[in-house]
Amino acid sequence: MQTIPLFPLHQVLFPGGKLPLRIFEPRYIDLVSECLRADSGFGVCCIRQGKEVGAGAQCYDVGTYARIVDWCRLDDGLLGITTQAETRFRVEQFSERANTLLEAKIQWLEEDEVHNIGEDYHALQLLLTRIFEHYGISYEDQAQGLQESAWLGYRLAELLPLDLNERQAILEIDDSLKRLSKLQHILNESDAVEFGDR
């Protein structure tokens, strides 16, 4: 097992995604400094109960490891960072440092087997393409990713108007084709996808 620091959020981060963060609490300034010094990352876990600010947040057991790929001083004087999500993990044990920063002993979860998208999920490819066009979103690996089951599922899960419980449940699915099947089921149960505020 490996021990990593955690950043609890009311958000689910999926492998391959990017997440900008505003850093203002001293414990997270320490976290950023630690990661930049060691060229390491931290875990992002969705909060099950509690708040992002202050201590005492209770998190889901499955999260995503992220690395800092850019940082800057924001106009309001706070530190801004951009993180790149890499791989999923499962928490075996939570603990808290003296500065109230959460950390966890984790097990890395195996990467999804890559499947090429067949006709069964062609509609999901078209939907994601429409979302990209509507919001002006572009990924460097977009052309290839649209053909791959894991990438397609993760991008849909982060962009569709799902609630946090649905997003977390999708993150916890270990098989990329089952993840697409779950997303297809959610879409079939809803009346339509609205292209409004995400």
pLDDT (tens digit, 9 = 90+) per residue, 88-119?
999 999 999 999 999 999 999 988 777 888 78
Asked which of 108, 137, 172 is the last residue of a domain, the reply is 108
Q: Looking at the structure, do residues 97 and 149 belong to the same domain, yes or no? A: no
What is residue 119's predicted lDDT score, i.e. its pLDDT? 83
pTM summary value: 0.89
pLDDT along the chain (198 residues), means of 10: 94 95 92 94 94 81 97 86 96 94 95 81 93 86 88 95 94 95 90 50
Q: Note whether 65 and 42 are within 8 A (CB).
A: yes
For residue 161 the two structure tokens come to 């108007």
Instruction: Tell the burial category of 51 from Cβ atoms under 10 Å away from its Cβ (0-12, 13-18, 19+).
Output: exposed
For residue 169 the two structure tokens come to 């449940």
Domain with 184 in it: 119-189
What is residue 193's predicted lDDT score, i.e. its pLDDT? 56
Distance CA 27, CA 180 (A): 37
Strand-pair category, 18-23 with 79-96: antiparallel
Q: Looking at the structure, do residues 104 and 123 belong to the same domain, yes or no? A: no
Asked which of 76, 108, 140 is the last residue of a domain, the reply is 108
What is residue 197's predicted lDDT score, i.e. its pLDDT? 45
In a domain, 198, yes or no: no
What is residue 191's predicted lDDT score, i.e. its pLDDT? 59
Distance CA 87, CA 109 (A): 8
Point out which residues pair with 72 in neighbouring strands: 80
Distance CA 85, CA 11 (A): 13
In a domain, 72, yes or no: yes
Q: Note whether 40 and 66 are within 8 A (CB).
A: no
User: In Å, what is the CA distance from 76 to each residue of 9, 19, 142?
Assistant: 21, 19, 33
